[in-house]
A and B are shown apart, each in its own frame.
Chain A
Amino acid sequence: MTKIKTQTISPQNENILIRLKRVESQFGYIPEESITEVAQSLDLPVSEIYGVATFYSFLATKPLGRNVIWVCQNLPCHLKHAEITIDNLERTLGIKPGETTSDNKFSLELTNCIGACDYAPAMLINRDLHGNLTPNKISQILKLYK
């Protein structure tokens, strides 16, 4: 595997999240090499950085598709049958949560609360909020993304 350079990380900045966010905006995800580099530059164990990177839904540790769908799986959305939304997306796209379609168009991810409980069940596509989801609405929304 080729080594990916991450010169943009300055040793002065000690915030793990800011660094991981910066790596993600550079590569689109956080490669393993970058996790090791961040750990070394902060003198922290690799396992700790990996723990932070995998904890947050909005930090990707593997490459994602052109459009990323984050479906909220927290309680208010769950009570409004978010599993129907997830089921519907799974069937429409032919992928499970955590996977990317073979044409690299959509990635399906589950997330924790996105602060749109009044629109439950809700999802984000590339940071655009879509709420009060129904199977009909979902197929309309997916057509908007190329």
Chain B
Amino acid sequence: MAEVKVTINGAQTSGREGVTILELAQENGIKIPTLCYLTELSPTGACRICIVEVEGSRTLVGSCHTPITPGMIIQTHSPKVLATRKVIIELLFASHCGFCMLCNKANVCNLRELAADLDVGLSPFQTRKRFYPIEDNPYIQIDRTQCILCRKCVRACREIAENGILGIAYRSFDTKIVIDNDQPLAQDTCRDCDICISVCPTGCLSKPKKLSAAKTGKPLIIC
């Protein structure tokens, strides 16, 4: 494999042909934020958080799916990039339900972490919110109001779990994660695989809460 010489943030470096900007940046210890990217999955460039500035390029490019080319001059944290990333987070929050204090996954949420990193407070973009009832079975809980449509679960279900149960359907504002052909979540739809839950960057997919009502045995009474 030929070595490709590029400049990242002013420093000369080189990488193997076919390596993406994101991978090369990670090799060089530069942290580019991502939401929809996972090393094991095929890149989709759905979330746009990983955008970087490439000299000569008309627009900012998604670094997770753009391979390096000879002589590329890349800026990963220029003011323009940071400002755009901030707007992207604000746009993701526009239709996200956003009640972090009520969310079980608030402290493991990549979206919230990024919002904190990029100094995003209340989103200036407010739109109607999506409403979907929460679905659950003993293995998984799906709260689509928190979904940011990163498609990680869809790819994990197809590529890692090799089930292909989850998919993405409909268009524009109505786009949502579906099970097969928009079936309701049944008791036996999913088993203990949990892969989609572990890759979900928000609180959309989680383990169902075990309510005390489900406990068996005598209640403990202290007198």
Task: Please determine whether chains A and B interact with each other in the same assembly.
Answer: yes
| B171 sits at the interface (CB 8 A) | yes
**Cβ 8 A contact of B169, one of A32, A44, A50, A112:** A50
Taken together as a complex, chains A and B put the C-alpha atoms of A44 and B166 apart, in Å, by 12
A53 to B168, CA, bound (A): 11
Q: Are A45 and B181 in contact (CB under 8 A)?
A: no
Q: Is the C-beta of A69 less than 8 angstroms from some C-beta in chain B? A: no
B67 at the interface (CB under 8 A from A): no
Residues of B within 8 A of A51 (CB): 167-169, 178
Whether A54 pairs with B158 at a CB distance below 8 angstroms is no
- Measured in the bound complex, the distance between the Cα atoms of B170 and A57 in whole Å is 9
For A44, what are the chain B residues with a Cβ–Cβ distance below 8 Å? 164
Whether A45 pairs with B170 at a CB distance below 8 angstroms is no
A112 to B172, CA, bound (A): 10
Q: A110-143, CB under 8 A of B: which get 1 and which 0?
A: 0010000000000000000000000000000000
Interface presence of B154 (CB below 8 A): yes
A48, B155: Cα distance in complex, Å: 11
Asked if A55 and B169 sit within 8 Å, CB to CB, the answer is: yes
Give the complex CA separation of A112 and B169 in angstroms. Answer: 16
Bound state CA distance, A48 and B177, in angstroms? 11
> Quick check: B169 and A45 within 8 Å, CB to CB?
no
| Residues in B whose Cβ lies below 8 Å from that of A56 | 171
Query: Known contacts A32-B181, A35-B181, A36-B181; is A50 also within 8 Å of B171 by CB?
Result: no
Q: Is A25 an interface residue (CB 8 A)?
A: no
Which of B170, B171, B180 makes the CB contact (< 8 A) with A47? B180
Chain B interface size, as a band, is 10 to 19
Question: Which residues of A have CB within 8 Å of B180?
Answer: 45-47, 50
Within 8 A of B (CB), among A31-76: 32, 35-36, 44-51, 53-57
A45 to B180, CA, bound (A): 8
- Which residues of chain B are near A46, meaning CB under 8 Å? 164, 167, 180-181
Contact in complex: B165, A55 (CB < 8 Å): no
For A112, list chain B residues within 8 Å (CB). Answer: 171
| B182 CB within 8 Å of chain A | yes
Name the residue of chain A whose CB is nearest to the CB of B167. Answer: A47
In Å, the complex CA distance between A50 and B154 comes to 13
Q: Chain B residues near A54: list those with CB within 8 A.
A: 169-171, 182
Q: How far is the CB of B166 from chain A (nearest CB, A)?
A: 6
A62 to B141, CA, bound (A): 28
User: B179 contacts the other chain (Cβ, under 8 Å)?
Assistant: yes
- A-facing residues in B122-173 (Cβ within 8 Å): 154, 158, 163-171
Given contacts A47-B178, A50-B182, A51-B167, 5 further A-B contacts (CB under 8 A): A46-B167, A46-B181, A51-B169, A51-B178, A54-B170
- Which positions in B face A, CB cutoff 8 Å? 154, 158, 163-171, 178-182
B-binding residues in A (CB < 8 A): 32, 35-36, 44-51, 53-57, 112
Q: List 26 A-B contacts (CB under 8 A).
A: A45-B158, A45-B163, A45-B164, A45-B165, A46-B164, A46-B167, A46-B181, A47-B154, A47-B164, A47-B166, A47-B167, A47-B169, A47-B178, A49-B181, A50-B167, A50-B169, A50-B178, A50-B180, A50-B181, A50-B182, A51-B167, A51-B168, A51-B178, A54-B182, A55-B171, A57-B171
Report the 10 A-B pairs with minimum CB-CB distance, sorted nearest first.
Answer: A47-B167, A45-B164, A50-B181, A51-B169, A54-B169, A46-B180, A51-B167, A54-B170, A55-B171, A51-B168
